[in-house]
Structure 1
Amino acid sequence: MQETDQRLLIIDDDEMFCHVLHRAMSRRGYEVLVAHDSAEALSLARQHRPGLATLDLKLEQESGLKLLPELLELVPDCRVVVLTGYSSIATAVEAIKLGAVNYLCKPADADEVLTALAREEGDPQAEVAEHPPSINRLTWEHIQKVLQEHDGNISATARALGMHRRTLQRKLQKRPVRR
């Protein structure tokens, strides 16, 4: 195992989550770096060249999806797992297309993160859900897809969805609907 494979960059704006994951990964022998925004993440990546990274999908007002290609341009061999409390099919697909090796829903513990970082192939034995997603969940995912198509522009997304911008902003501030 290379030295950089033991260097993990955590990119998340949730300081408590960073603290807990930092402590857990340090105990497992990883050299851990923490960034709370894009600029800090890119600076640390440039300086330390981590082999592993976790990237929050929603960094304050920034999208982790916009940071992902920049991070991989600086450190092409870095294995990145996108973590989010706002999961959707659209963002999962985009994260993988942009170079993430995996996508996890929060809360995720250190073992789940390490498993996601280590996985090389898909799992054909993955369970297929018995119940289809609720209409509210499908609505949430559709909004996320349209938002992604408009590069995070809320006004353009609201126009495309035929709703008032403030209504869309309220919907986006809510946690995603469970399946």
Structure 2
Amino acid sequence: MDRLLIIEDDLALAGVLLRRMSKQGFECQQCHDASTALLLARQFKPTHVLLDMKLEQENGLKLISPLRQLLPSVTMVLLTGYASIATAVEAIRLGADNYLAKPVDTQTLLNALAITPVDTAIEPLQEEPLSPKRLEWEHIQQVLNANSGNVSATARQLGMHRRTLQRKLLKKPTIDHR
């Protein structure tokens, strides 16, 4: 049986994910912080992990490497409400198998957790330019990532007030409608 560890600080969402994935045949455990996640990973030995990128004051990206060391063959999916190309690339570089933006439906989760790729027709990528707002979001995420999440250093580097940057970070990225 597949075992799924859900690492999510939003208790309501963690409960929904646990119920959804249990109905799909997963034996599930959930936790809400990094230290409990590492402890449960050792004890529960999951075959799959759903990891939230923002865990209270912690960054889920920092959990990818230790989880990968503990569980080399685990299928790991990073979930985030603040999707950006920079964090997606970083998550995959650190060892995540997949990266999904919240909210996410059950079928998308199942596809991301599949050990073998699902045979679906893939539409070719269209090379359309990103909107200016999306470009700004991506640039901010790259600079923030380069500054290890330090908002003050990022604001100085971008030449903007720290509060302005914080407001921009609270907004979800603009999705390009093509």
1:178 aligns with 2:175: yes
1:98 aligns with 2:98: no
Q: How many residues align?
A: 175
Note closer, same or farther for the CA distance 1:49–1:125 as it changes in structure 2 (3 Å cut).
same
From 22, 39, 52, the equivalent of 1:43 is 39
Q: Give, in whole Å, the separation in 1 of the partners of 2:130 and 2:12.
A: 31
* 2:19 partner amino acid: R
Offset at 1:119? 5.4
1:59 is aligned to 55
1:146 is aligned to 143
TM-score (norm 2): 0.90
Q: Give, in whole Å, the separation in 1 of the partners of 2:76 and 2:68.
A: 8
* 1:133 partner amino acid: L
What 5-or-longer segments of structure 2 have no aligned partner?
A: none
Verify the 8 A CA contact 1:21 1:109 in the aligned structure 2. no
Verify the 8 A CA contact 1:42 1:71 in the aligned structure 2. yes
RMSD over aligned Cα atoms: 1.9
TM-score (norm 1): 0.89
* 1:161 partner amino acid: L
Describe the superposition over 1:46-90 as per-residue Cα deviations: whole angstroms up to 9, x where unpaired: 111111001111222221111111111121111101111110000
Q: Give, in whole Å, the separation in 2 of the partners of 1:136 and 1:93.
A: 20
Verify the 8 A CA contact 2:111 2:117 in the aligned structure 1. no
Which segment drifts farther, 94-103 or 111-120?
111-120
What 5-or-longer segments of structure 1 have no aligned partner?
A: none
